[in-house]
Amino acid sequence: MPSPENPSNPPDDLLETIITDLGELARTASQPEEVDLSSLAAELESLTSSAEQRAIAQNADLQEQISQLTTELTTLQTERDHLNRELSDLRANYQRATAEVQRLQEQLASQQATHASDLLKEQVARLTAEKTALEGMRQNLEQELAQAITQQEELQQQLLTLQDQATTLAELNAQLTSLQTEKAALEQQLQDALAAAPPDSLEETALLNEPHDIGLAQQLAQLTRQLTQVETERNTLNAELEQIKLEADALRHDNEALRAQVSTVVPTELTLAAQENRHLKRQLRRQGYALWLTGIAATVISALSVSLTLPQPVGRVVPPLAALAVPILTVLARGRSPEIAPTETPT
C-alpha cells in the first residue's frame, strides 16, 4: 500500500510561493519609476488563480488518498476482526484439545495400571501354581528317598545274612576237603583190596538182594531221600537267589530313576545310595555264587557221609556214589557256575 503524503506540505509550499512573489513585488514597489500597478495586479491575480488551482488539485489528491486510506483501514479492521475470531476459535480448540489430551493421558494411565495389575495377578497365579507343583514334587521325592533308604537297609540285612552263609560255606568247604581226602584214601584201600582178592561169582554180586543185606538197602533208600531233600533245598535256595537278584535289579532301576529325578534336590544322598546299591549288588552276586556252591557242597557231603557209614562190602556201594559225584566234582573243579559271572573284587 503506498504511504500517504503529508496534507500540510502543499499549503506551505503555496504560501512560500505567494510570500516569495510578494517579496519580489515589494522590491519592485520600492522603485516607483519602474512599477506598473496594472501589471502587478494582473500578475497577482494570475498567481492567486494558479495557487487556487494547485490547492484544489492538491486537495483532490488528498481526498483521493484519504478515501484509499479509509478503504484500506476498513479492510484492515475487517481482517483484524476475522483474525480475532480465528484466534478465539484457535484458543477454544487448543483448550478443548488440551483437555482431551489430558483425559486421554489419564485414561491411558488407568489402562496401563489395570493392565499391569492383570499381568501381576497372572504372574502371581503362575508362580503360586509352580510353587504348589514343586512342593508336591518335593514331597514325592522325599517319600521316594525314604523308600530307597528303607530298601537299602533291607539289602544290608540281606547282605549280613549272606555273609553268615558265606562263613558257613567256608566251613563246608573245609569239611568237603577233609572228606575228599578220606574218600581218596578209602578208594585207594578199596583198589588194593580188590586187586588182592579173587574175583566174585555172579551169585555173590547179587548180595544186595539177599535178606541179610536189607539194612544196606534201607541205608541206600535213606541216602536217596537225603539226596532228594538236598537237591530240593538247593533248588529252593537257587529260586530265592533268583528272586533276590530280581529285587536287586528292580531296586537298582528304581534308584537310577530316583537319582535322575532328584539330582537337583538331594544329589549327595542319592549318589551315596547309588554307590551303596552297586556295592550291595556286587556282594549279592558273590553271595549268590556262594549260596549256589553251598547247595552243591551239601549234596556232595551228604552223599559222602552216607557212603562212609555203609557196612561191607564197600565196593558194591562206592562205585554208584562215585559215578554220582563225578559230574558234581567236575563242576566244582572249574571254580564257578556256568550261569554265574566271575566274582568282582570288592571296592
The model's pLDDT over 17-70, given as tens digits with 9 standing for 90+, comes to 766 766 666 565 555 445 577 887 888 888 888 888 888 988 888 999 999 999
Residue that wins the pLDDT comparison between 319 and 110: 110
Q: Per the structure block, which three cell numbers stand in for 300?
A: 556232595
Give the cell for residue 92. 477454544
Query: Can you tell me whether residue 73 is helix, strand or coil?
Result: helix
Quick check: is 247 in a domain?
Answer: yes
Q: Report the domain count for the chain.
A: 1
pLDDT over threshold 90, residue 339: no
Residue 242 located in a structural domain: yes
Q: Please give the backbone phi and psi of residue 235, each rounded to the nearest 5 degrees, phi first.
A: -65, -40
* Measured distance CA(23)–CA(16) in Å, rounded: 10
* Residues of the domain holding 255: 140-187+215-334
Predicted TM-score (pTM) of the model is: 0.31
194 lies in some domain: no
pLDDT of residue 208: 41
- Residue 126 contacts by C-beta under 8 Å, 6 or more apart in sequence? none
The answer to the question of residue 159 being in a domain is yes
Q: Which residue has the higher pLDDT, 263 or 142?
A: 142
CA angle 282, 286, 290 (to 5 degrees): 165
In a domain, 275, yes or no: yes
Q: Is 144:262 a contact under the CB 8 Å cutoff?
A: yes
Indicate whether 220 pLDDT > 80.
Answer: no
Query: Which cell numbers in the block locate residue 307?
Result: 557212603
pLDDT for position 253: 77
CA–CA separation, 82 vs 126, rounded Å? 64
Identify the residue with better confidence: 38 or 133: 133
